[in-house]
Amino acid sequence: MDKKETIYPFKVKRMDGTEIPLSLYRNKVLLIVNTASQCGFTPQLKELQELREQFEGQDFEILGFPTNDFGRQEPLDGVDIQSFCEINYGVRFPVFDKIMVRGEHAHPLYQFLSNKKLNGVLTSTPRWNFHKYLINRRGEVSDYFFPFTKPGSSKIKKRVQKLLADEHTL
């Protein structure tokens, strides 16, 4: 049974509506990002893909969660979001169905990620698109990065490398 303080009990929807458990990502280091196609930070999609490629084959994955919570900057829905990400930024990491990431109607995953009372580690509610949460191999929240922290920054790369190295054997 998964501990309460992990992401593994949560389920998310793919663009086609298929629900998948986050336990599929067990033993991987994850970067969970809320995205939007019409944001000033949208070019970070390319940088996120580059980060994924840098750590390819090392049990690292990026999970994108489009949201329209900030300035209505995600007017697209479903497969249109996926197509936008692939065509314009070469995204090959999983991008899930559009969700809410803040407030009382936030997706349960984001309620967990943003609240120390639930995740046991930190409180950091997204204040804009491209807020990033780093998850360790045990499915626990490890760190977060504000939208202005670029995916290719040494700060993010070093934290990912540390989690991959520190937890190589579980």
- From 22, 33, 36, 39, active-site residue: 39
39 among known catalytic residues = yes
**Looking at the chain, how many residues does it have?**
170
Side by side, which strands form the sheet with 60-66? Answer: 60-66, 29-35, 132-135, 141-145
Burial class of residue 155 (count of CB atoms within 10 Å of its CB; 0-12, 13-18, 19+): exposed
Count Cα neighbours of 58 within 13 Å in the Cβ-side half-sphere: 21
Burial class of residue 154 (count of CB atoms within 10 Å of its CB; 0-12, 13-18, 19+): exposed
Q: Which residues are part of the catalytic machinery? A: 39
